[in-house]
Structure 1
Amino acid sequence: MSTKKRKYLDNYIKYGFVPLQKGDTELSQCVICFKTLSNDGMRPTRLERHLITTHPEFANKPKAFFEARKESLKRAKIDSSGVFRQQTSNIVEASYEIALLIPKNKKSHTVGETLIRPSLLKAAELVQGKDSANKLSYISLSNDAVKGRIDNMSQDIKATDVFEVVLNFFDENRPLWDSLVRVCTEGAPPMLGSRSGFVNKVKKKSPSVVVTHCVIHREALASKTLPAEMRDVMNLAIKVVNFIKTGALNSRLFKKLCKDMDSDHQALLFHTNVRWLSKGSMLGRPYELREEVGAFLELQRKADLYEKFQSEGFQLSLAYLVDIFEVRNAINQKLQGKNINIIPQYDTIPAFMAKIDHWKSRMEDGNTACFANLDSAVSIGQLDSELRKQVIAHLTELKAKFIRYFPDLDEKRKAWKFIRNPFQCEVADVSDGVQEEMLELKFNSSAEDDFETLDLEVF
């Protein structure tokens, strides 16, 4: 059965895409980053998603802006000498090289668009002129572009490469492989491959090593669940933020409005897809400044955005999202820091899962007291039954995700009872090979005194 081929429509230019013919198939090409989407990807929702997520700074540009880009792209392609293709290749290569330097120097991905790109353009304009600056302006260094480049490069990293670095470290610093107790990975295939994976290579050097999947990474993956309705609310909030933040004029006008209204803040915040939980900070600000945002949208005559943003359903859903992201941000922070290891982390996760059950039970009774912003909003309005179902469904799915990513909680916490407090442990709680040593330690009064005064890591 043949697949129906999609046709490019003229109004797709408002998403920054132009048609591109490949054989007898019509594709769509972004006029900003030149990325080509498949024929199946030629849908308004996917084109708009690419624009909003990959080029948020251009999300609110008028149609005329993309028309101008289209003409520039068309003129460039007319060049039969192949210069355009060569220039595009160089631009992409430059983007990859800079994207590689950013993590190597332990810098945030945002430095690409906030510092490096403006510096390149200014230097090029001063030294070589505006034409050179215009050429460099095509180098994509947005948050998502840098993240995408890094992800692409990471596909080429093999277990051998990683193991070679670790092997060099052991050769230079002379630690014994037998002293290696545990290896923690983020769960990528090159790390866990059964034959050629990094872990398998390490086990050949240290057969008794224990392998774990990073707790913080698992928690972040489990947190990335959101029902479609709430994702729509989050996307609308992002759209509002982009409208106000991406234009210099809008940013200045909004800042002045906030100042005139004596607001606690005078700016909204961007988020980055690289860090999912950064959306919590981004969502909290428009909710705090909801009166100012509503007034600004009305002044700018953005009727569609204004009506959706001001609707009671949106405000209640946004309040819940702010609450749940704040809680999850707090959990994420609790899993990090000095003297934090897997034992307290495995106490934090089940406590959070128990709270999810508690919140779900109270929501089923229509009690919103667990969520401060939602509870405050409901005291003014009315909790919609549909929103209550969405919250309950979200909490149910969230709990299921944590169970999936942490299937060994009870088993590990029981096994670590001896480590947490050997003086309140029974001989049956430890393996046969260390039972006699455990008894000696349990009745060592000096060791018990040390245990009372020292941190667990030091003890």
Structure 2
Amino acid sequence: MEEEIHEELLFARTLETDIKGESIFNVLSNFFTEKSIPFTNIISVATDGAPAMVGRYRGFISHLKRIIPGLTAIHCVIHRQHLVAKHLSDRLNQSLHFVIKAVNKIRSNALNTRLFAQLCDENDEDFQRLLLHTEVRWLSKGACLTRFYSVFDSVLEFLESRDPDLKEKLIKFKADIAYLTDLFKKFNDINLQLQGDSLNLIETKGIISAFLGKLKFMKQNISRREFSQFPNLSQVECIDKDIHTYSQHLSALHDDFKTRFEDMLTMDIPPWIINPFDETEVDVVLQEELLELSTNEELKVKFRKDYQTFWLQAETPVKYPGLWEIARKFLIAFPSSYLVERVLVPLQTS
């Protein structure tokens, strides 16, 4: 619309019976029929990876692909990143459990909440309350840990007379908590990058590739006690066993991340989409169109902004249909289900 991508919620309907792939497809099919929307308008679909959506024979996507064979199916990149972040060793998972237990002990009781806020005020803390952790919110774990660690000393003081055993466990595993706080801050950063409006597959691949490389560097650095990427951990005394635990965890995260995002990392992006004016090899069928485009002096001026704005010009699909047919998949396809989550979650919780 007006040479820009506009993102809108088309419709949301409740499933009246079961949540099988066929039932989901029938709701979509009925809506498209009712509104006279051709199925060929769909070029991609992003899902949360649930069996009802991605099942090979009876999943929603399998039903859709029978009508649209060239459909691009994407497992939400934010959902996949969240699954990677949940990959914790037994020890780290236990340390996280102690944090959540302490938060719940303070937040689940109104009196404790008020007393803790008063203690934080007396200790001149930047915050006066903890954040609850919930598995259903993508940024929750990182936010919970960051807030918790920022008032760590006040938490220990508060638990001294109320739960001394839990206090000792938090002290014992302080290095783990510092490590997890730093790591989940990084996961939150990439999460926010993947939530941007108008995010396309090309930008998404760049973000994913960069974070995979960072995990590798983090593992190498922490193995030789280089903590520049872990500011909180750098302030805590770590023994060799701690370093080994964190190194092994980062290595496992790297492998899991690489496996879950294999399709994104190996995605072949034609270089002419990013710079159509740079000499590059192209399919014989598209050679003529690309030659005409690359020698168009008027288009060169418009390319100075960015490649996405360039391809969204109204004349592009008309003059260069072959190139546009390929480029649009990388520019328009949703890499995640974030837009749906953003719209529907407030409705579910209001």
Structure 1 length as normaliser, TM-score? 0.61
| Structure 2 counterpart SS, 1:452 | coil
Q: In the alignment, what sits opposite 1:179?
A: 41
Q: In the alignment, what sits opposite 2:96?
A: 234
Aligned alpha-carbon RMSD (Å): 2.5
Offset at residue 185 of structure 1 (A)? 2.1
Q: Does 1:433 align with 2:285?
A: yes
Q: Write the mapping of 1:248-263 to structure 2, written as runs, cut at 5 A.
A: 248-263=110-125
Q: In the alignment, what sits opposite 2:26?
A: 164
Offset at residue 318 of structure 1 (A)? 0.8
Structure 2: gaps (5+ residues): 1-10, 314-350
The match for 2:294 among 435, 438, 442 is 442
Q: In the alignment, what sits opposite 1:384?
A: 239
CA distance in structure 1 between the partners assigned to 2:266 and 2:295 by the alignment: 26
The match for 1:341 among 200, 204, 211 is 200
CA distance in structure 2 between the partners assigned to 1:262 and 1:182 by the alignment: 52
Q: Write the mapping of 1:192-341 to structure 2, written as runs, cut at 5 A.
A: 192-275=54-137, 277-300=139-162, 302-311=163-172, 314-341=173-200
* Larger displacement relative to structure 2 (227-236 or 186-195): 186-195
Which structure would you say has the larger RCO, counting Cα contacts within 8 Å and 6 or more residues apart?
2
CA distance in structure 1 between the partners assigned to 2:17 and 2:179 by the alignment: 37
1:45-92 Cα offsets, whole Å, 9 max, x none, are: xxxxxxxxxxxxxxxxxxxxxxxxxxxxxxxxxxxxxxxxxxxxxxxx
Q: Does 1:354 align with 2:206?
A: no
Contact 2:92/2:176 (CA < 8 Å) preserved in 1?
yes
Q: Does 1:451 align with 2:311?
A: no
CA distance in structure 2 between the partners assigned to 1:248 and 1:157 by the alignment: 39
1:233-292 Cα offsets, whole Å, 9 max, x none, are: 100011111111111111111111112222211111101121354111111122111111
CA distance in structure 2 between the partners assigned to 1:285 and 1:262 by the alignment: 15
Q: Which amino acid aligns with 1:398?
A: L
CA distance in structure 1 between the partners assigned to 2:25 and 2:111 by the alignment: 51
Offset at residue 182 of structure 1 (A)? 1.5
Contact 2:202/2:269 (CA < 8 Å) preserved in 1?
no
Contact 1:417/1:425 (CA < 8 Å) preserved in 2?
no
Q: In the alignment, what sits opposite 2:328?
A: none
- The 1:155–1:348 alpha-carbon spacing in structure 2 relative to 1, beyond 3 Å, is farther
Contact 2:116/2:158 (CA < 8 Å) preserved in 1?
yes
Q: Which amino acid aligns with 2:204?
A: Q
Aligned residues: 301
- The 1:180–1:282 alpha-carbon spacing in structure 2 relative to 1, beyond 3 Å, is same
CA distance in structure 2 between the partners assigned to 1:207 and 1:319 by the alignment: 49
CA distance in structure 1 between the partners assigned to 2:274 and 2:16 by the alignment: 38
CA distance in structure 1 between the partners assigned to 2:189 and 2:150 by the alignment: 19
1:150-186 Cα offsets, whole Å, 9 max, x none, are: 9xx9993012221122223322433332232222222
Offset at residue 407 of structure 1 (A)? 1.3
Q: Which amino acid aligns with 1:240?
A: A
Contact 2:205/2:265 (CA < 8 Å) preserved in 1?
no
Q: In the alignment, what sits opposite 2:262?
A: 407
Q: Which amino acid aligns with 1:320?
A: Y
Q: In the alignment, what sits opposite 2:252?
A: 397
Q: Which amino acid aligns with 1:402?
A: F
Structure 1: gaps (5+ residues): 1-103, 107-149
- The 1:271–1:162 alpha-carbon spacing in structure 2 relative to 1, beyond 3 Å, is same
CA distance in structure 1 between the partners assigned to 2:46 and 2:297 by the alignment: 35
CA distance in structure 2 between the partners assigned to 1:230 and 1:244 by the alignment: 22
Q: In the alignment, what sits opposite 1:422?
A: 276
Contact 1:323/1:373 (CA < 8 Å) preserved in 2?
yes
CA distance in structure 1 between the partners assigned to 2:284 and 2:50 by the alignment: 35
Q: Which amino acid aligns with 2:252?
A: E
| Structure 1 counterpart SS, 2:304 | helix
Contact 1:422/1:441 (CA < 8 Å) preserved in 2?
yes
CA distance in structure 1 between the partners assigned to 2:238 and 2:16 by the alignment: 46
Offset at residue 434 of structure 1 (A)? 2.2
CA distance in structure 1 between the partners assigned to 2:216 and 2:66 by the alignment: 43
CA distance in structure 2 between the partners assigned to 1:454 and 1:415 by the alignment: 16
Percent identity between matched residues is 36
Contact 1:343/1:416 (CA < 8 Å) preserved in 2?
no
CA distance in structure 2 between the partners assigned to 1:433 and 1:454 by the alignment: 25
CA distance in structure 2 between the partners assigned to 1:209 and 1:215 by the alignment: 18
1:14-42 Cα offsets, whole Å, 9 max, x none, are: xxxxxxxxxxxxxxxxxxxxxxxxxxxxx
CA distance in structure 1 between the partners assigned to 2:291 and 2:41 by the alignment: 24
Contact 2:146/2:181 (CA < 8 Å) preserved in 1?
yes
Q: Which has the larger radius of gyration?
A: 1
Q: In the alignment, what sits opposite 2:5?
A: none
